[in-house]
Amino acid sequence: MIGSGWRRRGVLAGLAALPAVARAQVTARGPVQANWPSLVSNYRYPDWFRDAKFGIWSHWGPQSVPEQGDWYGRNLYQQGHPQAEFHRKAYGHPADVGMMEVQNRWTAANWDPEALMQRYVKAGAKYFVSLACHHDNLDCYDSAHHPWNSLRVGPRRDIVGTWAKAARAHGLRFGVSNHAAHAWHWFQTAYGYDPEGPRKGERYDAFRLTKADGAGKWWEGLDPQLLYTGKHIVAPEGLDTMKAMGEWHDDHDGQWVEHGPAGDAGYATRWLQRQVDLVTKYQPDLCYFDDYELPFGPIGLAAAADYYNRSIAKSGKIDVVLNAKQLKPYARFGLVQDVERGFADRLWDEPWQTDTCLGDWFYKRSLYTEKRYKSANDVLQRLADVISKNGNLLLSVPQRGDGSIDSEEERILDDLGAWMAVNSEAVFGTRPWRVYGEGPTQLAAGMQNENGFKGFTEQDVRFTTKGDTLYLFFLKAPSAPVTVKALGLKAGRVARARLLGGGDVPFRQAQAGLTVTLPKGLGTVPVVRIDGLRRG
């Protein structure tokens, strides 16, 4: 199902074809070279990232406007898909009104970045990430190399730059996420047609629109083919059922690949120019690539080396984080691996990150009306599990198209803030203990598997440590005494056990473990501080 690799010859030719000024930018001088051995040998995980533990992500863009969830820009062109049916009713047929029109409806009219940042800081965020460009190929910043950007389309504002200013004013580290490497195959549905119904066979907007068609319209001077990326994998004529069309797209352009389009090396080189422009302008502390390892082979390596060398030039060391997914052994220590909506089943040697979302990646109204968001308890259980295994948690809080968040999200964030006010010492600046924890719940390692999770038990505990202090997170508040086997007498003698936000708690230590009795009626993820043990 998943593809990988790249067309090396075409990408290298594209890199060589870059204008001299752009090539000089990409090959910023420094010790890091554009190959995996150099990335691995030079990279060191920043202490700020290891201390931060918890970040909040504004995974926000024009696909939030319909309030129908993730991948709207692709799915609106797939007849029979719920998002496609919504689009036809709300906006019109995609031969007439496609994703570019939805992008221009992104107003951000009620966006208050200062108020949101205050709430995120109170909820415990130590870093903040702004979506810079999703698969819908709109740059949400002042882009020098891509005219389809948020200063010319939609809100007519520098979204990334505004977020950066707000985050840094509150002392947070700032990051960006770049998903544009996949736009070229993700958007090929926009070149299709309805295989059934009254407009059967009529090609959608991407297939027919040219720059000249914009004369006198809001998008005058913009070329729709730059947005939709061009006719790389166009559905053939003659598909006459929605099932046949869906299967064709699944087989041809629905693959998750890290190479560029055949015969168009320019797509990858334009991506590189946009990426270098992004990190040069906003100097992010973290850059998230929605890619398996790095996109476009040598060009992805050039982008990574450039990012690291710019950090060295600025601070004398690599003080940034570059996220990517599914790292193979040769890449493992050259980036910070991200596990999307998934779990780790062990304590990692190196820092890593998992990202998840309160709801869907782009705002989905039904999750609000049906009260199906993750709760604060869900988030905090996940945070405790991740940091005990040497990871960080990046949490997306979906925003409506107008930039606001809903009352349920506000309540969840406020609940997180109330917990952090009591328990933050067990989170920030801590490190894993000799084991991550214990309990009967066995988590399956991997991405995109959190929906199958059945929940933790009262016996599931996780550990963090700071100096000679050990913290015990009870993932589900216990109604009876719990024996922690890892804290038997051989681990060292416990001098004191104290509930954060409360007082001393009774305990009994034996060879078999430490039995702790917590007060009844405790709420979300209680934490006990253990003194008297040396760090393992």
- Are both 335 and 366 inside the same structural domain? yes
- Are both 146 and 179 inside the same structural domain? yes
**pLDDT tens digits for range 79-131:** 999 999 999 999 999 999 999 999 999 999 999 999 999 999 999 999 999 99
Say whether pLDDT at 348 is over 80: yes
* Mean of pLDDT values over 301-311: 96
- Are both 404 and 514 inside the same structural domain? no
Specify the pTM.
0.95
- Lowest mean pLDDT across 5-19, 421-435, 500-514: 5-19
Confidence of residue 534 (pLDDT cuts 50, 70, 90): low
- Are both 380 and 500 inside the same structural domain? no
Please indicate, yes or no, if residue 231 is contained in any of the structural domains.
Answer: no
Please give the tally of structural domains in the chain: 2
- Are both 476 and 374 inside the same structural domain? no
* Mean of pLDDT values over 159-164: 98
Q: Are 87 and 79 in contact (CB under 8 A)?
A: no
Confidence of residue 1 (pLDDT cuts 50, 70, 90): very low
Please indicate, yes or no, if residue 399 is contained in any of the structural domains.
Answer: yes
Which string of b and e fits 47-79 if b means at least 16 CB within 10 Å? eebeebbbbbbbbbbbbbbbbbbbbbbbbbbbb
Say whether pLDDT at 77 is over 60: yes
Determine the 3-state secondary structure of 288 from DSSP.
Answer: strand
**pLDDT tens digits for range 201-220:** 999 999 999 999 999 999 99
- Lowest mean pLDDT across 24-38, 240-254, 471-485: 24-38
Please indicate, yes or no, if residue 206 is contained in any of the structural domains.
Answer: no
Confidence of residue 161 (pLDDT cuts 50, 70, 90): very high
Confidence of residue 12 (pLDDT cuts 50, 70, 90): very low
The CATH number for 502's domain is 2.60.40.1180
Say whether pLDDT at 3 is over 70: no
Q: What are phi and psi of 128, to 5 degrees?
A: -135, 135
Q: Are 374 and 411 in contact (CB under 8 A)?
A: no
Please indicate, yes or no, if residue 98 is contained in any of the structural domains.
Answer: no
Res 533: pLDDT: 79
Please indicate, yes or no, if residue 510 is contained in any of the structural domains.
Answer: yes
The CATH number for 276's domain is 3.20.20.80
Q: Are 504 and 497 in contact (CB under 8 A)?
A: yes
Among 371, 388, 421, the domain boundary falls at 421
- Are both 398 and 366 inside the same structural domain? yes
- Are both 409 and 444 inside the same structural domain? no
- Are both 328 and 381 inside the same structural domain? yes
Q: Among residues of the chain, what percentage have pLDDT more than 90?
A: 93
Q: Which ranges constitute the DSSP H helices of 463-524?
A: none
- Are both 512 and 381 inside the same structural domain? no
- Are both 343 and 268 inside the same structural domain? yes
Kindly report the average pLDDT of the chain as a whole number: 94
Please indicate, yes or no, if residue 397 is contained in any of the structural domains.
Answer: yes
Please indicate, yes or no, if residue 20 is contained in any of the structural domains.
Answer: yes
- Are both 408 and 502 inside the same structural domain? no
Among 367, 396, 421, the domain boundary falls at 421
- Are both 35 and 162 inside the same structural domain? yes
Beta strands in 262-346 (DSSP E): 286-292, 321-325, 336-340
Say whether pLDDT at 510 is over 60: yes
Please indicate, yes or no, if residue 149 is contained in any of the structural domains.
Answer: yes
Range(s) of the domain holding residue 442: 437-531
The structure tokens 């992500």 sit at 57
